[in-house]
Amino acid sequence: MATFDRVLRGGVLWLTDGPAVADVGIKDGTIVEIGDLKQASASEIVKVEGLAVLPGMIDTQVHFREPGMEHKEDLESGSRAALYGGVTTFFEMPNTSPTTTSREALDDKLSRAKGRCWANYGFFVGASNDNIDQLRELELLPGTPGIKIFMGSSTGPLLVEGDENLRRVLENGSRPCPIHAEDEPRLRELKNLLSEHPHPREHPHVRDAEAARLATSRILALSRETGRPVHILHVSTADELTLIDEAKRHGLRTTAEATPQHLYFNEELYERRGTRAQMNPPIRSEEHRRAIFEALVEGLFDVLGSDHAPHTLDEKAKPYPQSPSGMPGVQTIYPFAMRLVAEGHISAERMLQLCCENPCAIYGIKGKGRIAVGYDADLVVCEPSTPFTVENAWFQSKCGWSAWEGEMLYGKPIHVLVNGTFSLREGSHVGSPSGCAVEYDWKPVPSKV
């Protein structure tokens, strides 16, 4: 008779090829058997009849602000927000203080994360003009999914400007590079267009669609030249969609991310939320929003990412443009994805690709992203067709607010297991953080140079 640490009994499993009612046997943090386990022996049997069991989401773009800005967020609070939203793995961006641009900075983040993260973690290393020659080694260090490139201004030295420097970054390594694609020279020019008494509604005009299109066009041309695949983050314009589609059709191994913010909100949000609607790249007109949404439905995008970027209410209360850009989102992204399914925009299988499977394929993540024997038991139990109104009291982020307050989402997590351990039970976190550093099965691909 098989013996398990715990068994989830009778749930509707969301699998790659469709739903199935079955039990899940877990041992040593791993799914070891799926099927009828009524005769199995287990230390704990949890009945989940009538509930859905999903793989935990992998959010490949968050900003948890540690080190240097812990008053906004830290690894514990940010990962707890992830847990409450069903995100069991996150990749954190390098624009902290100090920036993650060296082995020492990466090791520091990994040390800070150990024993404090409610979800599994990886930390991007940021490209800068100063570390280009080290990037080939840095991208293969344990604990990182690779190298992030900022083409628009960011923290400290993280801006990589000029095609020659960008070309050198792409030549120094082979893993897919996530890209913040806004053209810095154009952004500098557009700052002069601010009115005498600027309002947040001006934000999508001083970081306009052409700045995004120019940067995406430039990086895709360099990707073609060097053979290095790029992953275009938080696509915000209709103008970029054709470029991305053409790159995919020409075999550049290009991938792209959509955020819930750009899929759901339009420029009307500036009138309701003011600077709380401010992010980079901006939320834009209904024309852009609709085009991005249609592209998601038609299959252009590879992943959903939250671009969770919290700031305090005091910081957001500063007059525009002194107010910082960014909003929280890691806790609401999986329920937003379930809303897309519940409303019939995408299938459940497509949602699993966007939220779980494709992040693993892009970054070579080992053992995660699906419910299957041999995979890590990162699982979410919920009622995906049940709507709920987002309330401020639910939020776990230190910033204490969200643009999604008052909106309707679906499938609030009831239980969440991280590496086989219950970390969320009956909607509240329990025990101690059990997140671990993600492992990768990345096989370097020779570049053309």
In this structure, what CATH number is given to the domain that contains residue 88?
3.20.20.140
Residues (pLDDT < 70) of the chain are: 1, 154-155, 444-449
* Catalytic site residue from 183, 307, 376, 378: 307
Same domain as 249, residue 132: yes
pLDDT of 319 reads 97
Query: For residue 175, which amino acid is it?
Result: R
Same domain as 160, residue 124: yes
pLDDT of 449 reads 36
Reference 384, options 344, 425, 429, 424; nearest CA is: 344
Backbone angles phi, psi at 418, to 5 degrees: -120, 120
pLDDT of 154 reads 65
Structural domain count, the chain: 2
Rg (alpha carbons) of the chain, rounded to whole number: 21
Is residue 5 part of the annotated active site? The answer reads: no
Cα 103 from Cα 62, distance rounded (Å)? 20
Angle of helix 286-298 versus helix 239-249 axis, rounded to 10:
20
With vertex at residue 158, the alpha carbon angle to CA 156 and CA 125, rounded to the nearest 5 degrees, is: 120
pLDDT of 361 reads 97
Same domain as 28, residue 176: no
| Segments forming the whole domain that contains residue 323 | 56-363
Structure tokens at 274: 């003011």
pLDDT of 152 reads 81
Contacts of 94 (CB under 8 A, 6+ apart): 100, 101, 105, 123, 124, 125, 126, 148, 158
Cα 75 from Cα 65, distance rounded (Å)? 8
pLDDT of 6 reads 97
pLDDT of 9 reads 97
Cα 231 from Cα 251, distance rounded (Å)? 14
Same domain as 381, residue 336: no
Same domain as 188, residue 60: yes
